[in-house]
Amino acid sequence: MDLLGDYRTEIDKIDKEMTKLLEKRMNISKSISKYKMEHDMQIFHPEREKIVIEKNKGYLENKEYGDLVESYYDNLMYLSRLVQQKEIYSENNIYTKPYKNDRENLVVGYQGVPGSFGNEAMLKYFKNIKEAKSYEKFEDVFKAVEDGEIEYGILPVENSSTGGIGTVEDLLKEYNLYIVGEECIRISQNLVGIKGATVDDIKEVYSHPQGFEQSTKFFDKHKDYNLIPYSNTAISAKLVSDLKDKSKAAIASERAAKLYDLKIIKKDVNDLKNNYTRFIVIGRDLECDETCDKVSILFSIEDTSGGLYTVIRDIKEFGLNMSKIESRPNRNNPWNYIFFVDFDGNLFDVNIKKAINTIARSSKYFKLLGCYRDVKCK
């Protein structure tokens, strides 16, 4: 009797059963994708996947196979995500709601205090605000939108001098919210202090880290200043106003200086005179109409040769005009990266829907962030 043949026959029987179970599992994944669409849920839930892996490792009698089981279920759930992505981002399943940002009596939130750049961007973008709520942290704004405490939030996402705001980009991945609009404002950073203070009086300067990063040349000339990071430029200005100490200063806007009765000690200390920050407006629904002309997505790829090329090739083959691509470390997977991409287009365009479906299938993880009106910084 052929012992090897017997082993192979037994493996064939196991494989047949495994294939039947795989098919059954993927059919259930399709059903789950419909539930996720109906309840506006994300495809990828890393905590759930960790629980599944650990639970199945616990079923092993031979614990030596623990790493194999972990790898097996990691790949199995990746395949499930691909099935769900194909369903959710198919041409017929991208559902949008009408654009609502012109509606009156809005409750809107921003990070910081009155006089902050976020407050300024909010007032520029929204014309009819019933109530404006300020929050200490970027994530507080995301939570407020998610919980229905505010209808929209406005947050900085990119500066022309220092690049993307990493914290906000990470939150875009973590929260099931959408970008529904954007605004751009010119950023003029000023050294501000109490009346009577001079450049020579200053010993400590408070600012959001972005304020320092955008003004490196100025601070290179004043290495004796103690730079103290703070949560927001306007909050920094308010602190200096409250302290009433000539040795304390802040980096803030001219509007914040006026609001907190401070003097501009040195105007325009930022390195670039054409210094702009782009803000995004986030909401609970994917809103779009025919006037929208910009699409934002994020995705991750398999750590294999040509993974990113495949997605870039898809973008090229569909003739998309990509205006931005940026990578961020994936906090759930060391040495893996999340890519943020903006391109011209509208979700009512069949070609755009096909492109999104194709990119989603090529990605390990994919999320449609929004479709909205492009705003030029000028």
- Give the angle 333-143-369 at the CA atoms, nearest 5°: 60
Indicate if 157 and 292 belong to the same structural domain.
Answer: yes
* pTM more than 0.75: no
Q: What is the SS3 assignment for 142?
A: helix
Do the domain assignments include residue 3?
no
Pair of tokens at residue 39: 């309840």
CATH of the domain at 217: 3.40.190.10
Tens digits of pLDDT across the chain (378 residues): 588 888 999 999 999 999 999 999 999 988 888 887 777 676 777 788 889 999 999 999 999 999 999 989 988 887 887 788 677 666 555 656 666 656 567 999 999 889 999 999 999 999 888 999 999 999 999 999 999 999 999 999 999 888 899 999 999 988 889 999 999 999 999 999 999 999 999 999 999 998 999 999 999 999 999 999 998 899 999 999 999 999 999 999 999 999 999 999 999 999 988 889 999 999 988 888 888 999 999 998 877 777 788 889 999 999 999 999 999 988 767 778 899 999 999 998 989 988 998 888 888 888 899 999 999 887
Do the domain assignments include residue 101?
no
Indicate if 78 and 18 belong to the same structural domain.
Answer: yes
Indicate if 110 and 172 belong to the same structural domain.
Answer: yes
Q: Where are the alpha helices (DSSP H) in the chain?
A: 3-38, 46-57, 66-88, 117-125, 138-146, 166-174, 209-213, 216-220, 233-243, 254-259, 307-317, 350-362
Do the domain assignments include residue 353?
yes
Last residue of a domain, one of 57, 88, 119: 88
Distance of CA 91 to the CA centre of its chain: 24
User: Among 324, 328, 354, which Cα is nearest to 339's?
Assistant: 328
Exposure string for 78-98, b = 16+ CB within 10 A, e = fewer: eebbbbbbbbbbbeeebebee
The reported pLDDT for the residue numbered 223 is 94
The reported pLDDT for the residue numbered 95 is 55
Compute the distance between CA of residue 5 and CA of residue 126 in angstroms, rounded to an integer. Answer: 73
Indicate if 59 and 34 belong to the same structural domain.
Answer: yes
Last residue of a domain, one of 88, 120, 145: 88
Indicate if 113 and 148 belong to the same structural domain.
Answer: yes
Compute the distance between CA of residue 108 and CA of residue 155 in angstroms, rounded to an integer. Answer: 11
Domain count, the chain: 3
Last residue of a domain, one of 88, 115, 149: 88
Indicate if 173 and 307 belong to the same structural domain.
Answer: yes
Indicate if 143 and 75 belong to the same structural domain.
Answer: no
Do the domain assignments include residue 94?
no
Do the domain assignments include residue 378?
no
Residue-range definition of the domain harbouring residue 220 = 191-266
Q: Which long-range contacts (CB under 8 A, 24 or more apart) does 301-309 make?
A: 301/339, 301/362, 301/363, 301/364, 302/364, 303/335, 303/336, 308/339
* Amino acid identity, position 230: Y
Phi, psi of 364 (to 5 degrees): -70, -40
Indicate if 72 and 124 belong to the same structural domain.
Answer: no
Q: Answer left, alpha or beta for residue 306, where phi above 0 means left and psi between -120 and 50 means alpha.
A: left
- Give the angle 320-126-233 at the CA atoms, nearest 5°: 90
Indicate if 31 and 175 belong to the same structural domain.
Answer: no
Do the domain assignments include residue 4?
no
Do the domain assignments include residue 259?
yes
Indicate if 214 and 363 belong to the same structural domain.
Answer: no
Do the domain assignments include residue 95?
no
CB atoms within 10 A of CB 359: 24
CATH of the domain at 75: 1.20.59.10
Indicate if 176 and 242 belong to the same structural domain.
Answer: no
Indicate if 162 and 285 belong to the same structural domain.
Answer: yes
